[in-house]
Amino acid sequence: MTRTLLAATLLALGLAQPALALEGTLDRSHTQAEFVVLHMQLDKVHGQIPLQSGTATLGPDNLPTALTAVFDVAAVTSQNDRRDQDLRDNYFEVAQFPTITFVERSIKGTPDAFSLTGDLTIHGVTKSVVLAGKIDGVATINGKKHVAFTGTTTIDRRDYGMTLVKFIDNQLFVGYPVTINFEAGVAER
C-alpha cells in the first residue's frame, strides 16, 4: 500500500510539472513587418519590411514569452521604386538606421487574443508599444513544431524622430499615424 501511494504521488508530481518552453527561430519567409500610412490624405500606402533575424521562446500555450525581431529597413518595398528610395533616404534614413527592432517585455492574454508589450526601435528611437495579437495556427511539420501569429499596433512616426513634413497642393504627403502589422512564423530549433 505504501509503495502504491508513493508511486501515485510521484506520478502526480511528474504530471504537475509545467510544460517545457519551446525555443524557436523566426522564419524569414513567414515573418515581416507591414506598415500602412495615409498618403496625400487620400489613400493608404502599404509597405513591407522583411525580417533580418529573430528568435522566440514559446510557452505551453504557444504564446511568445520571449521574442526578439530585427527587420531590414534597407529592403523596404511598397511596390514603387521611387517611393521606396524616398522612404529609405528621407524617412527611415537607412544609411544611419538600417534596422527596426522589437524586443518583447511582457505578454497577457490567451492564444485567441493577447497583448504583447515590447520595445520598438525605429530611426534610433526606442519606445514601448503594445501589439494586439492572436495565434493564427500551430502545426508539427517534419517532427518540429511551427507556430504562426499576428500582431498590430499604431504609432505616430514623429515620436520616432521621423519628422519630415512635405505638402503637395496643401495636402500632407505622408500621414503621421502609422499602423504596423507583424506576421510571424516560429519554427522549433
CA distance 131 to 109: 12
Pair 67, 118: CB distance under 8 Å? yes
CA distance 90 to 44: 19
C-alpha cell at 99: 534596422
Q: What is the CATH number of the domain that holds 79?
A: 2.40.128.110
> Is 3 inside a domain boundary?
no
> Is 6 inside a domain boundary?
no
Q: What is the dihedral of CA 122, 128, 133, 135, to 10 degrees?
A: 80
> Is 1 inside a domain boundary?
no
> Is 160 inside a domain boundary?
yes
- HSE-CB of 122 using CA atoms within 13 angstroms: 23
> Is 9 inside a domain boundary?
no
The total domain count for the chain is 1
Whether the pTM exceeds 0.75: the reply is: yes
pLDDT tens for the 189 residues of the chain, in order: 555 544 444 444 444 445 568 999 999 999 999 999 998 778 999 999 999 999 999 999 999 999 999 999 999 999 999 999 999 999 999 999 999 999 999 999 999 999 999 999 999 999 999 999 999 999 999 999 999 999 999 999 999 999 878 767 767 778 899 999 999 999 999
Domain interval for residue 104: 19-188
> Is 7 inside a domain boundary?
no
> Is 107 inside a domain boundary?
yes
Give residue 85's pLDDT: 97
CA distance 133 to 104: 13
157-177 in b/e form (b: 16+ CB < 10 A) is bebbebeeeeeeeeeeebbee
Task: Find, among 64, 28, 65, the residue nearest to 49 by Cα.
Answer: 28
CA distance 49 to 34: 6
> Is 23 inside a domain boundary?
yes
